[in-house]
Amino acid sequence: MNALEVSNENPAPDAAPPSCDVVVVGSLNMDLVTRTPRLPQPGETLTGSGFSITQGGKGANQAVALARLGASVAMIGCVGDDDYGPVLLANLAREGIDHRGVRIEHGCPTGIAAITVDDSSQNSIIVVPGSNHALTQADIEPLDTLLRDARLLVCQLEVPLDTVRFALQAARRHGCTTLLNAAPILPLDDALLALVDWLVVNEIEAAALAGQAIDTPDDARAAVAHLRRRGCRNVLITLGAQGTVAALGDELRHFKAQKVAAIDTTGAGDTFVGGFGAAIAQGLTPEAAIRLGQAAAAIAVTRTGAQTAMPYRDEIASQPSSHRET
């Protein structure tokens, strides 16, 4: 099935929602991906070498990664009433994700992401939120049962911040562990950070939250200390090829990355969140969860696309491990 075909696999809308390991509250986009030798300069026109349309959005990406890596997942979000909306719903159904919490916003386009990937595997992304910005607190209230029964709530920042805050508060009331991937970065107050059990950010997002440049693992360690003072319980800063710096309780640790030949880093962070979150929801240790997230991301960057690159759990089990810790 290609990106624009529609499936009729959606579950009955009035069926009782089953329990799940993880609830994802977040965005659904259609990704419009171009490949170029290098990223263009302002005012410059380049000839691209490829184009594809694939399913994306940080929320949906993380939901797919979670499902492929062993978690049962429910998705809460919003799509438009254009041609892209049914495609995104059908894709969630194919991945075995409960999408009864994904609402269709009439008269609104589905979110899109315009992604350019260069020959060195770096990317630049422009997101047009569309229907994602129509997701409200009212969309989450009917799914209180899911939040009560789930082991983990996963949020990002491609939907309104008030909606994210409401979801985190609801999860806290029900004793559900919370994970916030603070991307794309927005100003966050300490009260919101105090609702987060696991803050996952890359070096750019961490730098914005901590107010300092992050170029090395030592820089990340200093940023982690700052974020802990702001109320974050546990902090993970992903540094790409330099690995992950993690504050786990009172411990500060550096997990080095597996060396791979990357061809496309699009969706690598979402894949890491999926692996880490799936492991946490299954009761694995934080150390094992980080290693699973890193192993999944290491596979994903050797493939093209976001969801199209995300591995399944059995693929990771067959890969040799080369992780080290400092």
* DSSP letter assigned to residue 111: E
Torsions phi, psi of 50, nearest 5? -170, 160
Helix ranges, the chain (H) = 58-68, 84-94, 137-140, 144-149, 161-173, 190-193, 203-210, 217-229, 268-281, 286-300, 313-317
At 1 the pLDDT is: 37
CB–CB of 213/207 below 8 Å? yes
Q: Which two tokens stand for residue 178?
A: 């919370």
**Which pLDDT tens digits describe the chain residue by residue (326 residues)?**
333 433 334 444 445 556 799 999 999 999 999 999 999 999 999 999 999 999 999 999 999 999 999 999 999 999 999 999 999 999 999 999 999 999 999 999 999 989 898 988 788 888 899 999 999 999 988 778 888 889 999 999 999 999 999 999 999 999 999 999 999 999 999 999 999 999 999 999 999 999 999 999 999 999 998 998 898 889 999 999 899 999 987 889 999 998 898 888 889 999 999 999 999 999 999 999 999 999 999 999 999 888 999 999 999 875 544 444 55
Checking DSSP bridges between strand 198-202 and strand 177-181, what pairing results, if any? Answer: parallel
How far CA 294 is from CA of 122, 162, 272, 281, 285, in Å, comes to 18, 30, 6, 17, 14
According to the model, what pLDDT value does residue 8 have? 36
pLDDT at position 318, please? 57
pLDDT of residue 307: 94
Q: What is the pLDDT of residue 147?
A: 86
Query: What are the residues whose beta carbons fall under 8 Å from the beta carbon of 9, sequence distance 6 or more?
Result: 90, 93, 94
Q: What pLDDT, on the 0 to 100 scale, is given for residue 238?
A: 96
Nearest to 60 by CA among 119, 112, 108, 117: 112
- The catalytically annotated residue of 21, 118, 197, 270 is 270
Joined together, the tokens standing for residue 99 give 């999408």
Model pLDDT, residue 4: 40
What are the Cα distances from residue 180, in Å, to 18, 151, 183? 24, 14, 9
The pTM assigned to this predicted structure is: 0.88
Residue ranges and CATH numbers for the domains of the chain are 22-28+58-109+131-317 (3.40.1190.20)
**Residues 92-122: b if buried by 16+ CB within 10 A, e if exposed:** bbebebbbbbbbbbeebbbbbbebbbbeebe
User: Does residue 270 carry a catalytic annotation?
Assistant: yes
For residues 38 and 73, give the distance between their C-alpha atoms in angstroms, rounded to a whole number: 37
What is the predicted pLDDT for the residue at 18?
63
d(CA 285, CA 96): 25
Residue 78, C-beta contacts closer than 8 angstroms, at least 6 positions apart: 28, 102, 103, 104, 105, 131, 132, 134, 135, 139, 159
What's the burial of 320, exposed, middle or buried (CB within 10 Å: 0-12/13-18/19+)?
exposed
Cβ atoms of 58 and 113 within 8 Å: the answer is no
Tell me what pLDDT residue 17 has. Answer: 55
